[in-house]
Amino acid sequence: MPGVAREHLTIDVDGAVVRVKTTAEAPRQYQAAYELPEAIDADATSAKLENGVLTLTLAKKKPVVTARTIAVQ
C-alpha cells in the first residue's frame, strides 16, 4: 500500500471476512474484502505496514467444543 500511512488504514475482522480500507483523508483510496474458508480469531491477528507493504498475520479460530458429559442419576 505505497503512499498510505498506518493511521489511514482500517482493518476489520468479522468471522471469516477480513476488510481492508483507507480512511477518507488517505491520499490513495482502497477498499477490499476477503472471505476466507475458516473463521479468524481477531484477538490473535496482527497487521504490519512497512515500506508500503501490508502484512496480515491471521489465526484460525479454535473450534469450540460444545459436547458435554452428563451425569446419570
Domain spans, the chain: 6-57
pLDDT for residue 62: 83
**What are the C-alpha distances in Å from 9 to residues 16, 17, 18, 22?**
20, 17, 13, 5
Average pLDDT, the chain: 91
On the question of pLDDT at 29 being above 90, the answer is yes
Q: What is the value of pTM for the model shown?
A: 0.78
Task: Map residue 32 onto helix, strand or coil.
Answer: strand
What pLDDT, on a 0 to 100 scale, did the predictor assign at position 40?
92
